[in-house]
């Protein structure tokens, strides 16, 4: 996970300042609900962040329209990244909360070109619980939806 963590006080988030052009950024796209700009960390060349224009800390703080708009912009940016950089792979990453790996508390989605040996890793500890446990989890979610 990235080492940079934004510790700005509430209301002065680094991405809100970027949206307001109070700090410099390499923007690539902007519409009513979203903004896309180069990640200053550039894990790989062409690494872009797509964020909401409005401050929303996590996915759960966005409206359905904002969440959909971020994915629409990410889709557009991903096609541009593919055309401009021709990476053999592409990963979208969206993190929520410190334990989720979020380092800037303003909703954003990473569009990351991927290459052999790029050093990016995400451990994925499969557990394969019994089907009754899956059914129980599904029931809890159906009740919440």
- Could you report how far apart the first and last alpha carbons of the chain are, in Å? 31
CA–CA distance, 109 with 74 (Å, rounded to integer)? 8
Question: DSSP string of 50-97?
Answer: EEESS--SSGGGS-HHHHHHHHHHHHHHHHHHHHHH--SEEEEE---S
107 scored as a contact of Zn ion (CB under 5 A): no
Cβ of residue 79: shortest distance to Zn ion, in angstroms? Answer: 26
In the set 39, 70, 106, 111, which binds Zn ion (CB under 5 A)? 106
CA–CA distance, 95 with 79 (Å, rounded to integer)? 22
Stretch that binds Zn ion, among 5-13, 42-50, 61-69, 83-91 (CB under 5 A): 5-13
> If DSSP codes are grouped into helix, strand and coil, which group holds residue 98?
helix
**What residues numbered 115-144 form the site for Zn ion, per CB under 5 A?**
none
Stretch that binds Zn ion, among 12-20, 24-32, 42-50, 130-138 (CB under 5 A): 12-20
**Residues 45-84 as x/- pattern, contact with Zn ion by CB under 5 A:** ----------x-----------------------------
Contact positions vs Zn ion (CB under 5 A): 13, 15-16, 55, 106
């Amino acid at each position: 996970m990235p080492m940079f963590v934004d510790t700005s006080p509430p209301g002065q988030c680094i991405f809100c300042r970027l949206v307001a052009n109070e700090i410099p950024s390499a923007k690539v796209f902007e519409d009513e609900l979203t903004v896309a700009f180069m990640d200053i960390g550039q894990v790989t060349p062409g690494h872009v962040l797509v964020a909401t224009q409005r401050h929303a800390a996590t996915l759960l703080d966005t409206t359905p329209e904002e969440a959909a708009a971020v994915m629409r912009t990410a889709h557009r940016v991903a096609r541009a990244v593919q055309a401009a950089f021709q990476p053999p792979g592409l990963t979208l990453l969206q993190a929520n909360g410190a334990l989720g790996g979020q380092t800037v508390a303003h909703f954003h989605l990473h569009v990351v070109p991927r290459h052999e040996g790029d050093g990016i890793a995400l451990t994925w500890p499969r557990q394969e619980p019994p089907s009754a446990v899956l059914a129980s989890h599904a029931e809890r979610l159906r009740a919440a939806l």
